[in-house]
Amino acid sequence: MSFTLLLDPPGPEARALAEKELRETEENVKKGIETLRKYIEEDKTIYFSTDDDFLMIFLRPCKFYPESAFELMKRVADFKVKHAVLLHNLMPEDEKNAFVEHNVVNIFKHRDHKNRRMMMVNCGKLWDPSKVSSDQIFRIFYLIHELAMYEPETQIFGSVVIMDFDGLSMKQITGMTPSFSMRLLSFIQDAMPLRLKEIHFVKQPFLFKMVWQMFKPFVREKLRNRMFFHGSKMSSFHAHIPPSHLPKNYDGELPEIDYTGADWYPIVISHEDKIKKWNTYGYVKNK
């Protein structure tokens, strides 16, 4: 698979999974779209696109319950207001240096054995907090999620995040501010219209316990059940994602990763129109 956004309609496997796990039947889709559109049109305080494809972004993670999808939209709008300092009119160009010069966030070219998108975050020695702040990492996450949610098959199959803590030191721990931790958790648990299926923590040293203690009290059960801690035991990781779908970096059968966020950056730029549009969504500003 090359560096590209996959915008094709869902294939047979995705459609079958969507019906089984997301209640995605013709009747539920029709009713969900009609009702969600009605909610948006009747609520004069909020603005989102009412195109069918756009509404599916919110209906799929909410299993086609339009009330839940509308609540998710409102939480997205709330989040954008609360973190406007970081997110207002955010464009890829604003974080070009972090994308291109620093290998902190990377997206695998291939999907896993369950067709899920995989994102890797280098939280250890490869991350220099004096050059890329935790706020910048969050902004990159946010830009990537904006594009991933437009992929119909990612809406259905979901995504997986690998947090690689190889070489973690106090430098990185002090770089992970409590405000970053809280913002990231709030985003994942409340305001991200994507199905995050698993988070894998790998190569984390003993020091990692300090980071985890910061997060732990605020992680709800649903998310906690999707978090897996492997340390240096790749066999433990392979129980979730087989070696056939992992690179050599994780004792997998695929070639070692030889690409970074720099290789993805042109794709992000080529879809700037979607990001620009997303920036207009949320609560209507009083004139």
Average pLDDT over residues 154-161: 98
Q: What is the pLDDT of residue 158?
A: 98
Same domain, 161 and 20: no
The total number of structural domains in the chain stands at 2
Domain that holds residue 20: 12-87+272-283
Measured in degrees and rounded to the nearest 5, phi and psi for residue 192 equal -115, 110
Confidence of residue 210 (pLDDT cuts 50, 70, 90): confident
- Please state, rounded to an integer, the average pLDDT across all residues of the chain: 95
Strand 46-47 relative to strand 105-107: parallel, antiparallel, unpaired? unpaired
Same domain, 148 and 53: no
Measured CA to CA, the distance from residue 8 to residue 197 in angstroms comes to: 22
Q: What is the dihedral of CA 58, 84, 6, 226, to 10 degrees?
A: -60
- Do 61 and 191 meet the contact criterion of CB atoms below 8 Å apart? no
Average pLDDT over residues 175-193: 92
Residue 6 in any domain: the answer is no
Helices (H), 60-115: 66-82, 84-87, 96-101
Same domain, 265 and 276: no
Please check the confidence at residue 47 and state whether its pLDDT lies above 90.
Answer: yes
Same domain, 126 and 252: yes
Same domain, 223 and 245: yes
Same domain, 238 and 258: yes
Residue 5 in any domain: the answer is no
For 72-101, how does the pLDDT look when each residue is reduced to its tens digit (9 = 90+)? 999 999 999 999 999 999 999 999 999 999
Please check the confidence at residue 287 and state whether its pLDDT lies above 50.
Answer: no
Tell me, what CATH number does 150's domain have?
A: 3.40.525.10
Average pLDDT over residues 249-253: 98
Residue 173 in any domain: the answer is yes
Same domain, 143 and 29: no
Measured in degrees and rounded to the nearest 5, phi and psi for residue 85 equal -60, -40
Same domain, 232 and 148: yes
Q: What is the pLDDT of residue 2?
A: 62
Same domain, 122 and 219: yes
Per mean pLDDT, which of 132-141, 176-185, 214-223 is the most reliable? Answer: 132-141
Residue 192 in any domain: the answer is yes
Same domain, 245 and 278: no
pTM: 0.95
Q: How many other C-beta atoms are found inside a 10 Å radius of the C-beta of residue 89?
A: 10
Tell me, what CATH number does 24's domain have?
A: 1.10.8
Average pLDDT over residues 34-57: 98
Same domain, 120 and 131: yes
Same domain, 150 and 213: yes
